[in-house]
Amino acid sequence: MTINETQDEIIEEFEGLSDWMDRYAYIIDLGNTLPEFPEKDKNPQNLIEGCQSRVWITADKQEDSKIHFQADSDALIVKGIVALLMRVLNNHTPQEILDADLYFIDKIGLKEHLSPTRSNGLLAMVKQIHNYALAYKMLEEKKA
């Protein structure tokens, strides 16, 4: 699936949830779908600055040039938000990630239903994912 197809799928899922209590419950459930995050990777190097909760994200470039992310958080809602980002951006090329317009965040009303500190954390997570993509893109260009 493309990034936009995944975003459209998420928007459709959220349209089926009428109130924000249901949406928060769904976001928490999504957080429980994240693969187990290695304890050794819960270190300061992988910790996202700017998040109220603790969030860790790692990235590995696969042989097919796609980036595989792993993530975790110590807060339930934030873990669900991270799961949404992983669902949209995981296993795509650096260029696809850098070109992505993450419109699903506004379309599902997430930004307006987060506290200012959680919104800042979301921006920090997106920025870190972009930084990983940019670094891998630059490495690719050096090899070419």
| Residues that are catalytic | 51
DSSP conformation class of 18: -
Please state whether 65 falls in left (phi above 0), alpha (psi between -120 and 50) or beta: left
Q: Is the dihedral of CA 37, 46, 62, 32 positive or negative?
A: positive
